[in-house]
């Protein structure tokens, strides 16, 4: 049932960036049938360059347009027009909608998303912010940055806003709730799941970087699991987990992973799976899947 929706998002360019699990408080407003402007509080579950998944306590229809407002630090407000792409779930806490932001240049989320072709250079990805100006950016970590994050939980890099090197830390969700973990599970996971053919990235770069960072593994129909990475490369990752994932299985992985921070799930395929009987764990190797052209 998600194929028509995925087709729509693809043509609308929703997939032109990573999708980050990130909760941001919002206000939605729209004109109702009698011409009255109505407002409600909402929040994001996933954000991408041109859209996201929002939870809202109101029934909307695909194609319906709404205005979104986002409070900024101080008294500022960021606003944009958005279109409901699809209702993807109905939970007791509200409806989940995939939305498309109609003003792509509005930088509504205040997050810089790198262009997808740079993803092949990524060992790991994180939503980070400059500790000086708080500008947020999806960062593709190289080996040096990954090692720095592993030992110090921060990375030194140039900030385009500060126009200087600065310390970057993981961005924390603006809303923290006990259900945020669960919310990332079922339906949002299905939204985030890709439907492209499995095309494993070419094995041109096999350099492995050992780093003991956490990863979150999401498999459709199963509980999310936090696992420990053994090494990472541009083509894939090796990790240890309690669950066994059969060879050939498609899962999504967010690495590095910190509960409550902006996780970026990307599709991978399990290449090997070996029990470690002494530890009661399984060692896995997995290869990143190539995103659709
Ligand atoms: Zn800065």
Give pLDDT tens digits for 114-143.
Answer: 887 788 888 999 999 999 998 999 999 999
Average pLDDT, integer, range 244-270: 92
CATH code where residue 236 lies: 2.40.10.220
Report whether pLDDT(9) > 60.
Answer: no
Do 10 and 51 lie in one domain? The reply is yes
Surface-to-core class of residue 190, CB atoms within 10 Å of its CB (0-12 exposed, 13-18 middle, 19+ buried): middle
pLDDT tens profile 226-236: 999 999 998 89
Last residue in a domain, options 69, 86, 106: 106
pLDDT for 112: 92
Report whether pLDDT(76) > 70.
Answer: yes
Stretch among 30-39, 70-79, 144-153 having the lowest mean pLDDT: 70-79
pLDDT tens profile 157-209: 999 999 999 999 999 877 655 444 444 444 444 444 433 334 555 444 568 88
Q: How far is the CA of 207 from the centre of ligand 1 (A)?
A: 31
Q: Would you say residue 211 lies in a domain?
A: yes
Report whether pLDDT(238) > 80.
Answer: yes
Q: Would you say residue 44 lies in a domain?
A: yes
pLDDT for 186: 42
Last residue in a domain, options 88, 106, 124: 106
Do 203 and 136 lie in one domain? The reply is no
Q: Would you say residue 283 lies in a domain?
A: yes
Report whether pLDDT(213) > 90.
Answer: yes
Query: What letter would DSSP give residue 12?
Result: H
Do 128 and 101 lie in one domain? The reply is no
Do 57 and 134 lie in one domain? The reply is no
Do 147 and 225 lie in one domain? The reply is no
Do 97 and 130 lie in one domain? The reply is no
Average pLDDT, integer, range 81-92: 93
Q: Would you say residue 179 lies in a domain?
A: no
Owning domain of residue 215? 187-288
Q: Are strands 263-264 and 266-276 parallel, antiparallel or unpaired?
A: unpaired
Q: How far is the CA of 255 from the centre of ligand 1 (A)?
A: 23
Do 196 and 165 lie in one domain? The reply is no
Q: Would you say residue 180 lies in a domain?
A: no
- Arithmetic mean of pLDDT over the chain: 83
- If one counts the domains in the chain, the total is 3
Last residue in a domain, options 106, 123, 145: 106
Q: How far is the CA of 72 from the centre of ligand 1 (A)?
A: 16
The distance from CA 171 to its chain's CA centroid, rounded to whole angstroms, is: 12
Query: What letter would DSSP give residue 118?
Result: G
Q: Are strands 136-141 and 111-112 parallel, antiparallel or unpaired?
A: parallel
pLDDT category, 33, cuts 50, 70, 90? Answer: confident
Residue 218: how many other CB atoms lie within 10 Å: 23
CA distance 242 to 166: 37
Q: Would you say residue 175 lies in a domain?
A: no
Do 76 and 7 lie in one domain? The reply is yes
Q: Would you say residue 200 lies in a domain?
A: yes
Q: Would you say residue 58 lies in a domain?
A: yes
Return the SS3 of 127.
strand
Residues in the 5 Å CB sphere of ion ligand 1 = 130, 132-133, 135, 159, 161-162, 166
Do 13 and 102 lie in one domain? The reply is yes
Report whether pLDDT(15) > 60.
Answer: no
Q: How far is the CA of 257 from the centre of ligand 1 (A)?
A: 23
Do 214 and 157 lie in one domain? The reply is no
């Amino acid at each position: 049932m998600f194929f028509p929706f995925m087709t729509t998002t693809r043509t609308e360019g929703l997939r032109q960036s990573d999708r980050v699990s990130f909760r941001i408080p919002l206000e939605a407003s729209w004109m109702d049938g009698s011409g009255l402007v109505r407002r409600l509080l909402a929040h994001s579950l996933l954000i991408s360059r041109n859209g996201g998944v929002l939870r809202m306590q109101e029934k909307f229809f695909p194609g319906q347009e709404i205005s979104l407002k986002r409070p900024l630090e101080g008294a500022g407000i960021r606003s944009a027009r958005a279109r409901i792409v699809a209702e993807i779930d109905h939970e007791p806490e509200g409806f989940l909608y995939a939305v498309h932001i109609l003003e792509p240049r509005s930088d509504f989320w205040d997050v810089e998303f790198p262009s997808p072709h740079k993803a092949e250079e990524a060992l790991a990805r994180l939503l980070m912010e400059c500790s000086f100006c708080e500008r947020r950016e999806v960062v593709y970590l190289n080996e040096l940055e990954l090692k720095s994050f592993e030992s110090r939980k921060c990375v030194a890099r140039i900030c385009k806003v500060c126009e200087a090197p600065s310390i970057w830390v993981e961005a924390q969700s603006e809303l923290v709730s006990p259900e945020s973990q669960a919310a990332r599970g079922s339906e949002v996971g299905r939204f985030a799941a890709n439907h492209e053919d499995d095309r494993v990235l070419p094995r041109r770069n096999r350099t492995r970087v050992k780093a003991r960072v956490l990863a979150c593994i999401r498999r459709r129909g199963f509980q999310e699991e936090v696992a420990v990475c053994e090494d990472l490369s541009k083509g894939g990752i090796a990790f240890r987990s309690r669950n066994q994932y059969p060879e050939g299985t498609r899962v999504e992985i967010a690495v590095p992973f910190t509960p409550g921070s902006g996780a970026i799930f990307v599709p991978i395929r399990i290449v090997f799976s070996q029990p470690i009987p002494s530890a009661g764990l399984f060692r896995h190797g997995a290869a990143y899947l190539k995103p659709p052209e």
